[in-house]
Amino acid sequence: MTIADKLLAWYDSSHRKMPWRTPPADIKRGIRPDPYRVWLSEVMLQQTSVATVAAYFIKFTGIWPTVRDLATASEEDVLKAWAGLGYYSRARNLKKCADRVAREFGGRFPETAAKLLSLPGIGPYTAAAIAAIAFNESVPVVDGNIERVVTRLFEIQRPLPAAKPAITERVAKLTPPARPGDFAQAMMDLGATICIPRKPSCIICPLRRDCGAAKAGNPEIYPFKSPKKIKPKRVGAAFVAVNPHDEILLRKRKDTGLLAGMSEAPTTTWNSNLDGATGLEAAPFEADWKRCGDVRHVFTHFELELTVYRADADIPAPPGHWWSLNYKSEALPTLMKKVIEAALGDKMKGRKIRD
């Protein structure tokens, strides 16, 4: 049996059940996965765990069952539904991509990886995954789990990311012309459940007899990685104003840049290259501001520490809008949830900010 044969046999009996996945038994009966659900799940899963994505996926498909439905939504509504998933450029590209598919392709996704690459927010991995899973195109699909499996199978010692071309070449040779989508998902499942980073379960792996690292007894050293760059640390301040009705003052961030278009308690100007002011001199208006502590948040390229201030204030014409603790109505990023929870203290006991 080939590696693909062994892996697909294992996948048929051991695949993970996910709300966006078409079971292999259905694939064999000729039932094809919905490209919209494949695309949506792949975008959501970028740098986000399966456990986190499942609830968001069910919520999104409940509100917008098809790509045409998503195309009719406002960007603001999409951002609100996305709030908490992070990396908000994904949500904005999601909306742009839905618009393009509805407008230029009649609501049908292009059926090849090459054509899918022309759509907003779809890179080489996502294009290959959609093409293989939804359209049965025999293209190599390579994510982090697959990189780990392949570097162990073939003992590829060149560090990532330089090893990616060699890994992709190997995956292309392994991918069968039949069931390429199931093969890709089988590789992902193997990496997520058996060929895990620490203490892989080699004894039950369907590919253990083919795996160079398992035979050598050193799978944990793979994949080799270049030394990580130290993330810069930035600072700033956030100001949470609360009125007598227990409403919080929020404003919208600019339409470009980090967390674009999202709601926030007023903060000082900070970004990945620039520290913001941290003192009371930067408060949005005069009030009896009290320091409530600090919150830390890690972005892709830097870490941020915000000094949090709170004031009880009732501003007739605030630089924003007053908002109750009904968080369903706002596109509120995780950073701002941390800020508000730090500022409200006792008011948040027994409560949790909702998405």
Active-site amino acid positions: 42
How many Å apart are CA 199 and CA 34, to the nearest integer? 35
CB atoms within 10 A of CB 335: 23
CB < 8 Å & 24+ apart, contacts of 130-134: 130/35, 130/38, 130/39, 130/42, 132/175, 132/180, 132/181, 132/183, 132/184, 133/33, 133/38, 133/181, 133/184, 133/185, 134/32, 134/33, 134/34, 134/35, 134/38, 134/39, 134/109, 134/181
Length of the chain, please?
Answer: 355
Token match 């039949």: residue? 178
Question: Which residue type, as a one-letter code, is found at position 92?
Answer: R
- How many angstroms separate the CA atoms of 269 and 274, rounded? 8
> Is 317 buried (19+), middle (13-18) or exposed (0-12) by CB count in 10 A?
exposed
Instruction: For residue 234, give the DSSP letter.
Output: E
